[in-house]
Amino acid sequence: MTQQRGATAKIAIGYESTYGTAPSDGFVLPVNSCDVVGSQVRNTPATLTGSRNPVTPFVGNMDVGGSIVVPADSDAIIYWLAAMFGDPSTTGADPYVHEFKIASSQPSFTLEKQFTDVATDVYERFVGCKISSFGLTVGGDGELTISMNVLGAQQSEETSSIDGSPTTVSLDRVNNFSAAINEGGGSLANATEVSLNVDFGLDPNQFVIGGGGVRGDIPAGIIAVTGNVTTLFEADTLLDKAIDDTASSLKITCTESANSVLEFEIEELLYSVNGVPIPGPQGLLVSLDFVGYYSSGSEASAIVARVTNNVASYDVVP
């Protein structure tokens, strides 16, 4: 017997035309880790039988969920962003700029773990999946990654893939050292760390009677855009913005080349008030949480993601 290795396992996704129905087209994407699983607990009845022996347990609802960590890049990330926002609008001419904004609905997709080291190929399939949140932290010299949380409807074990000849998507990595931060329309050159988190407001509790214990839908609600900016304490500019309730903006741009750019923009945000601690004799830092929103920004979206690459267009979501 051969033990399956994580190094040779593959992750594929395919976008669903109908929620919970696996498509026939798939894309194999690079990932660092994937712990999306299906679980269904055995609940214990409170039935009394005149004996201290427990009675037969019954099954609860199926819960599909977990996290996926992917390398930040300007190619494969398109397919994850499409799962969050739908297909992008594209402008330019080699390089092309693909722009994602908040839409009225969120696509569902099928996620597949492909295990081919074992004696008989196993394809662990999860249908009715949606990305419930994503986050990234820019700063330091480690690998720049994007973390996503996934909710889904149902798990099954299959002997064949949704797509016998899937498209394998390449990786065009972007890195921490290529990042730049623009705050309030100007360069923020003294930032040590910037984090961004987006919660898509998914409702995980849509279990319907007669639905076999799986989620009948995962409707999307109001999106929450939050994060944190940490800078060297060299001035009180950001502190004043927080105290004075002054609206600002933030743009995170990772530029590897003219043909490889990943960018996230929050056009309107407010900082939470926070003081400056003195933990010791070292240089002090200012760390402020922020909340993004849409009021009157020209982009009409609380967050905008842009990817620049050499691909002319993407039309992957049905």
Q: What is the pLDDT of residues 240-298, one digit of tens each?
A: 999 999 999 999 999 999 999 999 999 999 999 999 999 999 999 999 999 999 999 99
Query: Could you give the CA distance from residue 110 to residue 166 in angstroms, rounded to a whole number?
Result: 13
**pLDDT of res. 1:** 73
Query: Could you give the CA distance from residue 123 to residue 163 in angstroms, rounded to a whole number?
Result: 11
Q: Domain count of the chain?
A: 1
**pLDDT of res. 113:** 97
Q: What Å distances lie between residue 54 and 44, 57, 254, CA to CA?
A: 8, 8, 58
With respect to residue 318, please indicate whether it lies within any of the assigned structural domains. Answer: no
pLDDT tens digits for range 175-219: 999 999 999 999 999 999 999 999 999 999 999 999 999 999 999
**pLDDT of res. 22:** 97
With respect to residue 278, please indicate whether it lies within any of the assigned structural domains. Answer: yes
Cis amide prior to 95 (ω within 30 degrees)? yes
With respect to residue 72, please indicate whether it lies within any of the assigned structural domains. Answer: yes
With respect to residue 272, please indicate whether it lies within any of the assigned structural domains. Answer: yes
State which H helix or E strand residue 227 sits in: strand 224-232
Tokens 């050499």 correspond to: 310
With respect to residue 317, please indicate whether it lies within any of the assigned structural domains. Answer: no
Confidence band, pLDDT 50/70/90 cuts, at residue 151: very high
Which tokens hold the place of 126?
């999860």
Number of neighbouring beta carbons within 10 Å of residue 72: 21
User: Contact 193/137 with Cβ under 8 angstroms?
Assistant: yes
With respect to residue 250, please indicate whether it lies within any of the assigned structural domains. Answer: yes
With respect to residue 50, please indicate whether it lies within any of the assigned structural domains. Answer: no
With respect to residue 54, please indicate whether it lies within any of the assigned structural domains. Answer: no
The parent domain of residue 182 ranges over 9-39+59-309
Tokens 């905008």 correspond to: 304
Q: What Å distances lie between residue 231 and 23, 137, 193, 195, 289, CA to CA?
A: 46, 14, 7, 12, 12
**pLDDT of res. 99:** 98
Across the range 136-151, mean pLDDT stands at 97
Across the range 18-24, mean pLDDT stands at 97
| Among candidate residues 37, 38, 55, the one with its CA nearest the CA of residue 46 | 55
